[in-house]
Amino acid sequence: MFAIHVQPQAKPPYISAFKQACIENAKESLKEEGIVRFDIVRQQDDPTHFILIEVYRNKDAPSKHKETMHYRNWRDEVLPMMAQPRKSPFSPTSIRTIKTGLDGPMPNQNGSHDAV
């Protein structure tokens, strides 16, 4: 498996719309055969910074993902919402998921659960 960590930064007025576009893209992406996992993380001390963690079954899956209509729609929709071009370092490392019981949203500082 391979992981890509996409690191976009949204412009402040677009945080909510950017987050929603990412959620919709993730939902559709998870239907792809080549995608194992798609997580959306938002930095707590700067809500404009996101990390999209995309885990693929093989090295061909990322390019197939970029051919999908939902990816192209997401890319075009969020482009004007981004403060700077997104970074996407490719991590060609082996990944193993270990079931921890911590799946789902992590508690925030006040103990409630925020998904993004």
Domains of the chain, first to last: 2-91 (3.30.70.100)
What 3-state DSSP class applies to 105?
coil
Q: Is the pLDDT of residue 86 over 70?
A: yes
Residue with structure tokens 């929709």? Answer: 77
Across 91-106, average pLDDT:
53
What 3-state DSSP class applies to 4?
strand
Percent of the chain with pLDDT strictly greater than 70: 76
Residue range 22-35, pLDDT digits in tens: 999 999 999 999 99
Please check whether residue 8 is in contact with residue 80, taking contact to mean a CB–CB distance below 8 angstroms: no
Q: What gap in Å lies between CA 88 and CA 62, rounded to an integer?
A: 11
Give the pLDDT band of residue 112 (cuts 50, 70, 90).
very low
